[in-house]
Structure 1
Amino acid sequence: MVLAQRLHDELSVWWRAGKVPLPEYTQRRVTLWDHKPKLPFDVQIQSRSKDRHRIFDERFLYRSQIVRARNDMRKERRSEYKEERKKELDAKQQDKTDRRDRAMEAVSGAHCSGLLGNLAPLLPKSLGGRPSVIR
């Protein structure tokens, strides 16, 4: 128990911060230590209780096959929507950038400083061309 705790403390992420990175093989072993990958479905159903379920029940296998196919279709639709949404957002960002560039060209052609232009001639002379500070 103590050895396992010391090993966990040595290999955990927060403890390794700022240290030399582990070799790839060792890092994979550490990752497998804490995060076990999911078993394939065929192996998972064998771990079901034989007293309560028939492991190779045709109806169960058929239903699970349908559910898996439906989930795959949903995943595919989500990925397609994600790609479309990314294209829309990129187009929107490009339009925004184009509008900003056109506005900057218009302002720079008018010999203005900044987007509001040169405000110094519009300010009272007593301030020396500087805006007043409101306190």
Structure 2
Amino acid sequence: MFNKTPFKGTSRTSSGYSYDDDQFASKVFGEIARKDWQDYRNTFMPVHEIFKTAVMSDDLTKQQLDRIPGNIDAQFKQSQAQASAINERMGLSNLNTGRTDISKGLAQVFAENSARTHGKERKMSAIAGANISPQDARVNQ
């Protein structure tokens, strides 16, 4: 009653599969799914690997820890220079109370602990699938 082939002796095909095949749709869908997976593997997986390596490594945290002593020294020198300038304007001599070294040490310890905590939180957020900002994933920048 219904002729699947429009012309005698011909068979319509798509993607190498015959329309006459009972599994035509599943074969074509399977081919599309395989091509999509291959495209994903070639396009996105290398980027995911770079991201995973950058976020999961301790390189960024170590770089931040290496910068902390210099930043703390610079801030304390600036603070001491400002205090000296104020004292000179008021006619006072240098009033160093000796607490600077203790404060400096505590500031450095606090900054290092904060950097380590942030590194752990960044890793946990990446594992949980949170949105990681580009500056959190950058290494050697």
TM-score bracket for the superposition, by shorter chain length = 0.3 to 0.5
TM-score under structure 1 length normalisation: 0.33
Larger RCO of the pair (alpha carbons < 8 Å, separation 6+): 2
TM-score under structure 2 normalisation?
A: 0.32
